[in-house]
Amino acid sequence: MQSGENFENRILFLGTGTSSGIPVIGCRCAACTSSDPRDRRTRTSALLQTRKSGEAEWGHLLIDSGIDLRYQLLREGAPLVRHVVYTHAHVDHFFGLDELRAIQFVTRMPIHLYASEEVERALRTVYRHLFETGVQKGGGILEVEIHPLEDRFQAGPITLEALPIYHGKLPIHGFRFGNLAYLTDCSFIPDTTWPLLENVGVLVLDMLRKRPHPTHYNLDQALEVIERLKPKEAYFVHMTHDLVHADIEAELPEGVFLAYDGLVVDLPSFDPHQWSRTS
Ligand SMILES: [Zn+2]
Ligand SMILES: [Zn+2]
Ligand SMILES: [Zn+2]
């Protein structure tokens, strides 16, 4: 601890479901009709949070602005998120951006977006009303500032390392924050990224279902990644309705869990402004 101060760092899982969300509209399967709240999975997204010990307010960094963002933020006490980092530009991960307008009504400050060139292109296409002067503007248009993803970068209160991974054939990004690695929508980790995952303590990993899928890890593949990295704890996200929480979790090795909406995992105390891969 270079500064001599103590920090509280954590991840709050806003959503843990695949692109349809669980329950799936019209489905009567065991997961979709389950009374276990952990089987209700909104679209995968998370908040990284940090504060100095003793402070009342958290600093937030949102990973992806999914379709369920409004509901997720209301459920978690309406944190005033001003920074968003994007993994990739699939609908389930970025179609909630406009929900941050309500936050801007309160803070009157722009929302900072951290995005790869490909994600930025998608943002500028889908959210033309934010970027193009020729588009008729209503009241209360969201004001955003886009920042490039770098290998290591400061995103609001938090310093991140970008982790290049593959989602099928699509190159996308996971992120490392201290001893945490967040890898959603992942089906392949290239050789150059494995060293960036060294000493990971808390691994958040895509695990769609038991059956194989071309663009997501299934259970066996996700367990192979965990076996190689040996994190202290691993949490699965982006799960389909093939998985009933209590049934699957009973089958998992020690230290491996299904994440669920609203779950908070505490990370070690490290200065979120100083780069480290603290384990
Ligand atoms: Zn997804
Ligand atoms: Zn179902
Ligand atoms: Zn995706």
pLDDT, one tens digit per residue, over 138-151 is 678 899 999 999 99
C-alpha distances out from residue 250 to 38, 86, 207, 244, 255, Å: 14, 32, 16, 10, 12
In the chain, what are the domains? 7-133+140-260 (3.60.15.10)
Asked whether 10 and 272 are in contact (CB, 8 A), the reply is no
pTM: 0.96
80 three-state secondary structure: coil
Taking residues 249-268, what's their average pLDDT? 97
Q: Which two tokens stand for residue 93?
A: 């991960």
CA dist., res. 12 & res. 262, Å (int): 6
Measured from the alpha carbon of residue 18, the closest ligand is 1
21 Cα to the center of ligand 2, angstroms: 10
Q: What is the pLDDT of residues 85-116, one digit of tens each?
A: 999 999 999 999 999 999 999 999 999 999 99
Residues having C-beta closer than 5 Å to ion ligand 2 = 24, 27, 29, 32, 241
C-alpha distances out from residue 9 to 58, 65, 73, 135, Å: 9, 21, 19, 41
Q: Look at residue 279 and tell me whether its pLDDT is greater than 70.
A: no
The closest of 215, 214, 3, 277 to 90, measured between CA atoms, is 215
Measured from the alpha carbon of residue 40, the closest ligand is 2
125 three-state secondary structure: helix
276 Cα to the center of ligand 2, angstroms: 41
Measured from the alpha carbon of residue 25, the closest ligand is 2
